[in-house]
Structure 1
Amino acid sequence: MVDVLAAPQHVKTDSSLRTLTAISVAHWVSHFHLFVLPMLFPFLKAQLGVGYIELGFALTVFGLVSGLTQAPIGYLADHIGARKVLLIGLCVGGCALIGLGLHLSYPALIVSAAVLGLANSVYHPADYAILSAHMDVTRMGRAFSIHTFAGFVGGAVAPAIMLALVATVGGLGALIVAGAIGPLVALLMIAMSLPDASAADRRADGVQAPQQNVLTPAIMMLTIFFMLLGLSNAGINNFGVVALMSGYGVDLAAANFALTAFLGASAVGVLAGGFLADHTRRHGQVAAAAFGINAVIMLVIATVNLPSLLLTALMTSAGFLGGVIAPSRDMLVRNSAPPGAAGRAFGIVSTGFNFSGILAPLLFGWIMDQNLPHWVFGASVAFMVLTVLLALVTDRKPQGKSEIPDSRLVHS
């Protein structure tokens, strides 16, 4: 990490490293909190006496609120400061889980999911605003990759942490402890003197980005691409454990281990994908190839009852390939964004993930309620095939545009 942020001035290096560390820890929390409720589905189902579609509805509420509030939160960060917005988001998200742990009921679950969705909308606008303002522009891409990696790690360790918490303090205690991490990290941000970033900070060089139309066909196509990516992963992330337990005869510990391996390999794949993305401009073909192999792996899992060891090995391979896609996915967005409009472009295409967050819980919850656990993986295969086709189409879209974005990437 020190090499990533190497700078001529020692003080500047220390400041950049501290800022990146603080923002990466916050991103770790955001992804960890994403998995708290899904990892507790078996506990919540038993305690609340509801079906998986009711539990899935809570995740739909989360996705809906997060999708509707992400853009307004971005404007808020520009006006009152990204640091303040980030600190508030950490505390609000933590309190949502603590409150649910103190008063568990289905209405409280829905309220908690809504508040968590609001908190989740904070991280990307605030994180990227602060990083953009305080990282060396020549190393911005590598700083972003570390930020992304930290988020993947947060999701990767969530199943193991939640399993350990349930075993030691019970389901309600697990909610409270998981929630307390948010305010504690907010205090850590303050102790680390996390710098702020406002619109004025990011225009300190006097350069005003031109206002351009970013609702281009390429950007809209990428929004659908992001939605399909989200749908293909959501069933595995949120319902993989319960699907493996009910349809494959896998116990809770083995199912959680397989999902942890899947998510952990995704984190490693992000770093590997960064090197791959730097050595090719055919990012759509990279994404298509990785997801094509993933579709074959998931088809095997969907149709064959495998021994736990082989199942975990295939889940690990699929997770790694899914992580490899992330940098190429982001390169596609950058290459399609008009000059000076990368932020708005990423904001628009990221709503594809929000759409998938709304649709996926209901779809996969319905699949589980129909006692079709193998179709959690089967539906993922279908979405992966669609993603492969769209990636190949999208890769051809930018061919006629200016090469400015690519040259900009070479120096980042």
Structure 2
Amino acid sequence: NRTLFGVSQAGLVNNLNDGMSWGIFPLFFAVHGVDVNGIGLIKAVYPVTWGLGQLATGYLSDRWGRKGLIVWGMWAQGLALLGIGLGVDAAGLSPLAVGVAGSLLLGLGTAMVYPALLAAVGDVAHPVWRARALSVYRFWRDLGYAVGALSAGLIADAFGLRWAILAVGVLTVLSGLMARQVVRFPQPAE
């Protein structure tokens, strides 16, 4: 099922972002002079934005459909990570401000995809095998935490912290492109 593949790969990459950010962001921002309180703020903005945002995006997913929120949400996350990786050294920008702004966009992107991905599985799975489809999706989605932490660590060790963030950012944009190509949903009910 192409849609379940597209949704599962997006779920994996979405959580890969999270796994990477928990391990890499504190080190990356500390190297750029952000104190522990600032790093805590950067890390808090992401889940707070995601948690509050999904209250609205779940509703929007039911009204507008799933695909646009999934694709644009993945792209927003990817751009957030690229902005963090490249923007932290930009002239005139404080690393703390770049981190907070990037985490805000990362949280918004995650809020867009999180309820839409889960609902998408329910949309395309027949009731007879819906629980099995959800468990397969959740397996791939949750595996993303470990894949993100491990791959980001390997990339950071080999090429540096910035490259771990940039690589995950590029992967996230590509995941959005993949979802755009393979995911097919029925239109939302009126």
TM over 0.5: yes
- Are 1:61 and 2:45 an aligned pair? yes
2:114 to 108, 116, 124: 124
1:178 to 142, 151, 168: 168
Equivalent residue letter for 1:168: A
- Are 1:36 and 2:11 an aligned pair? no
Distance 2:172 2:49 in 1: 19
Aligned to 1:145: 135
1:317-359 Cα shifts (integer Å, max 9, x gaps): xxxxxxxxxxxxxxxxxxxxxxxxxxxxxxxxxxxxxxxxxxx
Report the alpha carbon displacement of residue 119 of structure 1 after superposing the two structures with TM.
1.1
User: For the Cα contact (< 8 Å) 2:82–2:170, is it kept in 1?
Assistant: yes
Aligned residues: 183
What's the secondary structure of 2:173's corresponding residue? helix
User: For the Cα contact (< 8 Å) 2:78–2:172, is it kept in 1?
Assistant: yes
1:229-248 Cα shifts (integer Å, max 9, x gaps): xxxxxxxxxxxxxxxxxxxx
Report the alpha carbon displacement of residue 179 of structure 1 after superposing the two structures with TM.
0.6
Aligned to 2:35: 50
User: For the Cα contact (< 8 Å) 1:66–1:118, is it kept in 2?
Assistant: yes
- Are 1:196 and 2:175 an aligned pair? no
Larger radius of gyration: 1
Counterparts in 2 of 1:103 and 1:125: CA distance versus 1, 3 Å: same
1:187 to 158, 171, 177: 177
Aligned to 1:109: 99
TM superposition outliers: structure 1 runs of 4+ over 4 Å: none
Report the alpha carbon displacement of residue 197 of structure 1 after superposing the two structures with TM.
4.3
Greater relative contact order (CA < 8 Å, ≥ 6 in sequence): 2
Distance 1:133 1:162 in 2: 33
User: For the Cα contact (< 8 Å) 2:122–2:134, is it kept in 1?
Assistant: no
Q: RMSD of the TM alignment (CA)?
A: 1.6
User: For the Cα contact (< 8 Å) 1:82–1:197, is it kept in 2?
Assistant: no
1:168-226 Cα shifts (integer Å, max 9, x gaps): 3311222111111111011112332x1124431xx8xxxxxxxxxxxxxxxxxxxxxxx
Aligned to 2:92: none
Distance 1:124 1:113 in 2: 16
Counterparts in 2 of 1:79 and 1:29: CA distance versus 1, 3 Å: same
Equivalent residue letter for 1:131: V
Distance 1:36 1:90 in 2: 15
1:6-405 to 2 correspondence within 5 Å? Answer: 17-40=1-24, 41-51=26-36, 53-104=37-88, 105-192=95-182, 194-200=183-189
1:83-124 Cα shifts (integer Å, max 9, x gaps): 011000000000000001111111100111111111111223
Once structures 1 and 2 are overlaid, which stretch shifts more, 169-178 or 100-109? 169-178
Distance 2:132 2:63 in 1: 27
Distance 2:40 2:143 in 1: 24
Normalising to structure 1: TM-score of the pair? Answer: 0.43
Q: Identify unmatched segments of 5+ residues in structure 1.
A: 1-16, 204-412
Q: Identify unmatched segments of 5+ residues in structure 2.
A: 89-94
Equivalent residue letter for 2:113: Y
User: For the Cα contact (< 8 Å) 1:94–1:178, is it kept in 2?
Assistant: yes
Equivalent residue letter for 1:98: L
Distance 2:147 2:51 in 1: 25
Distance 1:197 1:129 in 2: 12
User: For the Cα contact (< 8 Å) 2:19–2:146, is it kept in 1?
Assistant: no
Report sequence identity in percent.
23
What's the secondary structure of 1:137's corresponding residue? coil
Counterparts in 2 of 1:59 and 1:160: CA distance versus 1, 3 Å: same
Counterparts in 2 of 1:161 and 1:79: CA distance versus 1, 3 Å: same
User: For the Cα contact (< 8 Å) 2:76–2:106, is it kept in 1?
Assistant: yes
